A and B are shown apart, each in its own frame.
Chain A
């Protein structure tokens, strides 16, 4: 016997009420990170050992700044999705689990905000 309402079936969100959203966001950010990571590795290699003024000149170019922020923000979002799965898989006590999930979210937000402010200070 199926106890699900017709509306619930159509929405397809299941018992977790988010459907395949987490899975899909993880893939979407993964695909985006392929070119962004290639660019990031290229940039780091290119400016290894470079004088300060050259590093600033590179990062203060709007395209570099935007690319760096896209890499940082997409990466941190991807990181949050991944850490959520790892925490939920291995931490079984409800208190520690919720605490770690909160901590990972706050830490990610703090790191993201720090990077955004840093890149803005370089670009402007």
Chain B
């Protein structure tokens, strides 16, 4: 059977789905990113637990947490955490609209996908601007 097929097909045609030349649809990107951010946020629950434990243990433990969180690496991780949370929340709301049967046609799904990308970046930046202002106000 396999040998017969080999003879009948002399030309080595590309096999689907051939991901190198496949143009990702917008909805595919948003869907994969929803899962990736979801798994990332699962790891992020450890940061949340660490924060709460640090507050519960007293000023010294909290100072240790604040030092690490405000370092360049801490800020990088927290920025990623913010972006993941905002994206997952916004795309999640998009999913809830789909569950209600709204915006399911191709054009609407593509547009809402682009809107979620743009709004996630804007909202994340706004949250960080607000956090920096809040930090300045406490000093």
Also in contact, A45 and B131, with CB within 8 A (given A51-B138, A83-B42, A115-B48): yes
Let me know if A79 is at the binding interface, CB within 8 A: yes
Whether a CB of chain A sits under 8 angstroms from the CB of B52 is yes
Q: From B49, B63, B85, B93, give the contact of A111 (CB < 8 A).
A: B49
Provide the main secondary structure of the chain B interface.
helix
Interchain CA distance A48-B42 in the complex, whole Å: 22
Interface band, chain A = 35 or more
Chain A residues within CB distance 8 Å of chain B: 27, 30-31, 33-34, 37, 41, 44-52, 54-56, 59, 68, 72, 75-76, 79, 82-83, 86, 111, 114-115, 117-119, 121-122
Q: Which residues of B contact A (CB under 8 A)?
A: 35, 38-39, 41-42, 45-46, 48-49, 52-53, 55-56, 59, 62-63, 70, 82, 85-86, 89, 92-93, 95-96, 99, 127, 130-132, 134-136, 138-139
